[in-house]
Amino acid sequence: MSAWHTESEVLIGADQELYLAGGNHGVLRFATGEVVIRDDSIANMQANLQGRREAAARGGFAFAHMIAPEKYRVVTDAFPLASTGSLARQYADGGCVGVIDPVAEMRAETEGRTYYRTDTHWAPHGKIIAARLVALAGERDPADVAAAEQAMRNCLAPAPQAFCGDLGRKLDPKQDEPTVIIRVPHAIRTFENGLPHDYQRPVNDGRLVLTESDAPTARGTLLIFGDS
C-alpha cells in the first residue's frame, strides 16, 4: 500500500485508519496547503463572529463558536501525509480570534477514541470533550462542568453492535468497528421537523432537531447552529 492509497474517496492510513479524501470540503487540499482561504473570506468570518457576539450580548446570552477539527489534525499517527495546514488554522492565523479549536484537548484524551476509525465524526469521548469546552465557553461554573463531564463518562458502555461509519460504508467490503455509547439512566426525547435524514438522502440545510432531557445538569436552553 502506498502512502497515498485511496479507495472510493477514502484515504486509508496506518492500521486501517480511514480519512476523508473526497467530498465538497476538499479536506486533503487544506492538509497539504494546496488551498488557501481568500482574504475576503477571512474578513467575512471576522465580521460574522463580531456580529454574533454583539447580538448574543444584547440578548444577555453567552456565545461560543467552535470549528470542529478535521480528523487528520487529531488522529495524526496514522495519517500518511505531511500535514501543513487546516481550515481552522488559516482562519486563526488570519485574525479570527476567540474560536474554540479543540485539537489539543482531543489529542490529550487517553480513555477512548475521540474520532471513530471508520468515520469522519467524533466518537463519544470526542463529543464529551466538545461539550465540556462549549459549556466552559458559555460561562458555566467549572466545577459543575467537571461534574457533568464525569457523569457522562460514567455512562459510557460497550455498544451492542459494531459501528460502520460514513467512511467505512464507502468501501467494499464495508468496514465497521467496536465502539462505546453514552447510555444515560434517564429519558431523552428528540423531535425533528420532518426533513429526511438517511445515508441515501442526506439533508443538512434546514434540518431542526429539538432535544429534551428528564434530568438536565443545567437549567435553560442551548441553541446550536451548525453545518456539515
Q: Rounded to an integer, what distance in angstroms lies between the CA atom of residue 42 and that of residue 93?
A: 10
Local confidence pLDDT in tens for the 228 residues of the chain: 445 688 999 999 999 999 998 877 778 888 888 888 899 999 999 999 999 999 999 999 999 999 999 999 999 999 988 766 788 888 988 999 889 999 999 999 999 999 999 999 999 999 999 999 999 998 899 999 999 999 999 999 999 999 999 999 999 999 999 999 999 888 999 998 877 666 566 666 788 889 998 888 777 788 898 876
Reading the block at residue 61, the C-alpha cell is: 446570552
Is the pTM value of this prediction over 0.85?
yes
Return the beta strands (E) in 117-222 as ranges: 156-158, 180-182, 188-192, 209-213
Neighbours of 118 (CB within 10 A): 24
Q: Which helix (H) or strand (E) holds 137?
A: helix 124-137
